[in-house]
Amino acid sequence: MRQMFLLSAGLIGALTLASCSKEIDKEAVERALQDVNVIDESNLNNVILNSSDPNEAVSYFQRSVAKNPDRIDFNRGLAGSLVRAKRYTEAVSAWQRVVALPESGDADRVDLADALIRTNDWAQAKTVLTSVPPTHETYKRYRLEAMVADSEKNWKAADSFYETAIGLTTTPAGVFNNWGYSKLTRGDYTEAERLFGEALRQDPNLFTAKNNLVLARGAQRNYSLPVIAMTQTERAQLLHTMALSAVKQGDVSTGEGLLRDAIDTHPQHFDAAARALEALEKG
């Protein structure tokens, strides 16, 4: 707002001076007005990118880029809205256009790597992240570095990157969950369980961490639900996950009992659990 006021005051001063001399510099006035419009558009861009329907945002930024193809804010808005709309292949192309613009920076390359990971292009994502200097130390950069290291089964590097990412954010629940899932895929179930617990301490409503915690316990043949906050529907879903884990471990009778508990617990008809139980009973 202060920036808007200063621009407006400057514009009024320019107009006043020009009226006194009877020589209005129309080009100067237009430039001043254009500066005001840029600030208004920047605010509007943020509102549209963060609040509007993702596909509506894509349409808005596509029109804006068509009119101003070299405006980096419009190009960033288009790339970001394509990611939000889960149109990842298009998002990669959009972020590549952003990175090609002269005003682009390291954060744009990190966002390009993020889009590449979403299309499973891990090799190219690694190449892009390698091009980002080590001085660019951000939460997003290290979270992506950890995911790339995971994809290569470079566990030592992954652990280091996850730990660094956690230290760079005030909301580390998602990183703890990702790190826990990494440990789960390695077969380190005890450590995975601990990390999922950390995720839930940071965000008690993170259902993916709840589900992953149950998977980690089930992999250790611990078929009791953890003592965590959960709704009745979540409890039923977690019992279903535990049941499938038990069946996978060969504990079929335990799995059948857990499926019956899931069906009884769910406030509505639990079709997935009912079908799984029917298949076990027939098998």
pLDDT tens-digit map of 20-39: 444 445 555 444 444 444 44
Confidence of residue 44 (pLDDT cuts 50, 70, 90): low
Write the Ramachandran bin of 250: left for phi over 0, alpha for psi from -120 to 50, otherwise beta.
Answer: left
- Say which range, 1-15, 160-174, 246-260, 264-278, has the weakest mean pLDDT: 1-15
In terms of C-beta density within 10 A (0-12 exposed, 13-18 middle, 19 or more buried), how is residue 154 classed? middle
pLDDT tens-digit map of 129-172: 999 999 999 999 999 999 999 999 999 999 999 999 999 999 99
Contact predicate 144/125, CB 8 Å: yes
Three-state secondary structure of the chain:
CHHHHHHHHHHHHHHHHHHHHCCCCHHHHHHHHHHHHHHHHHHHHHHHHHHCCHHHHHHHHHHHHHHCCCCHHHHHHHHHHHHHCCCHHHHHHHHHHHHHCCCCCHHHHHHHHHHHHHCCCHHHHHHHHHCCCCCCCCHHHHHHHHHHHHHCCCHHHHHHHHHHHHCCCCCCHHHHHHHHHHHHHHCCHHHHHHHHHHHHHHCCCCHHHHHHHHHHHHHCCCCCCCCCCCCHHHHHHHHHHHHHHHHHCCCHHHHHHHHHHHHHHCCCCCHHHHHHHHHHHHC
pTM above 0.85, yes or no: no
User: Residue 48's pLDDT is what?
Assistant: 72
User: Residue 217's pLDDT is what?
Assistant: 97
Which residues fall within 8 angstroms of residue 256, CB to CB, at 6 or more apart? 243, 277, 280, 281
pLDDT tens-digit map of 62-120: 999 999 999 999 999 999 999 999 999 999 999 999 999 999 999 999 999 999 999 99
User: Residue 40's pLDDT is what?
Assistant: 52
The mean per-residue pLDDT over the stretch 250-277 comes to 95
Name the amino acid, one letter, at 177.
N
User: Residue 102's pLDDT is what?
Assistant: 96
Please determine, for residue 1, whether its predicted confidence score (pLDDT) is greater than 50: no
Name the amino acid, one letter, at 101.
L
The mean per-residue pLDDT over the stretch 191-200 comes to 98
Confidence of residue 282 (pLDDT cuts 50, 70, 90): confident
Residues of the chain above pLDDT 70, percent: 83
User: Residue 178's pLDDT is what?
Assistant: 96
